Amino acid sequence: MLIRTFGIARSLATYHGIPGRQRRMRALYGQFLGPGDLAFDIGAHAGNRVRAWRGLGARVVAVEPQPDFVRLLRLFFDRDPEVTVVPAALGARPGTARLGISRATPTVSSMSETWRRTVADDAGFARVRWDESVPVPVTTLDELAATHGVPAFCKIDVEGFEADVLAGLTHPLPALSFEYLPAAHDAALTALDRVESLGRYVYRYSPVETMRWDPTAGGRWLDADELRALLDRRRPLGRSGDVYARAAPTAPGDGPGPS
């Protein structure tokens, strides 16, 4: 019980306790969301992005499989009619699956055994233990969109299960993001390939929860090959981040990519 309480407190401090982060989040996500827009938070965890998106006036569907954090999200947002909490995981197809939980570091709980084995060899995960496993219901992005509508923006942060989540999507979204972790570089490239299969996108990268764009990209949106090169350069630094994808013009003559 003490370990679980410590893990929840750590997540709350990490995601809600850093001065200025909410302001930076609203500035970044304001490029994708405005009043009345719909957003999906896949892996909502402690709800910091839900909070930021509500500050922008967006409606939010918050998807979270960890029972402790489902309770937390409901505590925070149950009285807000513009937030829907979905106690489930997302995957390639509906069903049930087992979620590996790290009670001391719940932010890295994951449904991907392959991802857990991969990152376990990384120094940054040396003290992480996945010491609990629980069954969780699984739905898909297609089913979520059929129920709630197509989101203007979808954030996917599911600790190595991003490609599986994207495999449950059969149509392009206007904009989305997914996590990049150097220790699981290939998994991120698989997710990128899946995004590319859905439609034509351009990309930017934001390092380590800074809520700022990577300055090495020259202030512009990148194509998939340019993003792969950027991630290759980032990989030796050993620091995580998020890839942002936005629908590109449908034809070369339609004009420049989004600003």
What confidence category does residue 250 fall into, taking pLDDT thresholds of 50, 70 and 90? low
Whether residue 255 is predicted with pLDDT greater than 60 in this model: the reply is: no
Give the pLDDT score at 6.
Answer: 64
Domains annotated for the chain, with CATH where assigned, are: 2-254 (3.40.50.150)
Give the pLDDT score at 159.
Answer: 83
Give the pLDDT score at 103.
Answer: 81
Give the pLDDT score at 183.
Answer: 84
Residues 157-200: tens digit of each pLDDT: 988 889 999 999 999 999 999 999 888 899 999 999 999 999 99
Residue the block writes with tokens 């001065």: 19
Residues 69-89: tens digit of each pLDDT: 999 999 999 999 999 999 999
Whether residue 254 is predicted with pLDDT greater than 80 in this model: the reply is: no
Give the pLDDT score at 256.
Answer: 38
Rounded to an integer, the average pLDDT of 213-240 is 94
Percent of the chain with pLDDT over 70: 95
Rounded to an integer, the average pLDDT of 138-159 is 97
Pick the residue with more confidence: 167 or 110?
A: 167
Give the pLDDT score at 1.
Answer: 67
Whether residue 118 is predicted with pLDDT greater than 90 in this model: the reply is: no
Query: Per the confidence metrics, is the pTM higher than 0.85?
Result: yes
In this structure, which amino acid lies at residue 78? D
Could you tell me if 163 and 216 are in contact, meaning their C-beta atoms sit under 8 angstroms apart? Answer: no
What confidence category does residue 259 fall into, taking pLDDT thresholds of 50, 70 and 90? very low
Give the pLDDT score at 190.
Answer: 95
Residues 9-44: tens digit of each pLDDT: 777 777 777 778 899 999 999 999 999 999 999 999
Q: Which of the listed ranges 112-126, 156-170, 239-253 does the model predict with the highest average pLDDT?
A: 156-170
